[in-house]
Chain A
Amino acid sequence: SQQGEEDPQALSIQEGENATMNCSYKTSINNLQWYRQNSGRGLVHLILIRSNEREKHSGRLRVTLDTSKKSSSLLITASRAADTASYFCATVFSTGTASKLTFGTGTRLQVTL
């Protein structure tokens, strides 16, 4: 399987704390994307980092990428209860007819008040 691994599988923090999720993958990539999924809902795209980038920011999100280690991390700063969700990294492979996402195993984040 080409599926990536994420750790931790579950993370519980208090509001205001930072949350860090890690993703490892197996193949060469064009880019890596992070998605969020609220319970029982579809996925929402958060951020994309290209293979030639090492770090990217978007609001309270910070993503790093280390292609030599085939790993990425997602940092959510100053977490809020509304950040409670599952977070998936996805490696992207373009076939010419589609951009195929291969998702990691996901991290379930619980932010408590």
Chain B
Amino acid sequence: DAMVIQNPRYQVTQFGKPVTLSCSQTLNHNVMYWYQQKSSQAPKLLFHYYDKDFNNEADTPDNFQSRRPNTSFCFLDIRSPGLGDAAMYLCATSMDSSSYNEQFFGPGTRLTVL
């Protein structure tokens, strides 16, 4: 089945130790998104890629970076995780930029920072 896959499902890192979260999709969608969702809160968009074009949200901290080496894969890099970065990180895709497209979400990676 076509889907959005995130690895790992659970990630534990130490304060200040870089960490990379992975997302892959078999939908061949043009747009990939990364969201941060803290406990009992709504998902918040960090950035997105339209094909190879990276688009950062204005309030996304510099600590967060992303890479999209090809259509299928997208990575979220957290350069120096702080305790406040502990959250669920959700990857999503959409076919294109039309507002009438739904987004397809992966199961998420829960990040714990010790």
- Enumerate chain A interface residues (CB-CB to B < 8 A): 3, 30-31, 33, 35, 40-45, 48, 50, 88, 92-106
Contacts and interface: CB of A to CB of B under 8 A. Distances in A.
B70 interface: no
Given A41-B107, A42-B105, A42-B106, A99 B42 contact: no
Contacts of B101: 99
Interface residues of B, number: 30
A97 B103 contact: no
Interface of B: 4, 6, 31, 33, 41-45, 48, 50, 53, 55, 88, 90, 92, 94, 97-108, 110
A63 B31 CA distance: 27
B95 to A, nearest CB: 9
Contacts, number: 77
Name, among B55, B99, B100, B110, the residue most crowded by chain A CB atoms within 10 Å (CB to CB).
B99
Given A43-B43, A88-B42, A106-B42, A99 B103 contact: yes
Contact of B110 (A40, A105, A106): A40
B104 A103 contact: no
Contact of A95 (B42, B97, B107): B97
B102 A98 contact: no
Contacts of A31: 99-100
Contacts of B44: 103
A48 B55 CA distance: 25
A96 B97 contact: yes
Nearest to B9: A40
B45 A100 contact: yes
Contacts of A106: 41-42
A103 B33 CA distance: 14
A66 B50 CA distance: 32
A98 B94 CA distance: 8
Contacts of A88: 42-43
Contact of B103 (A3, A40, A94, A101): A101
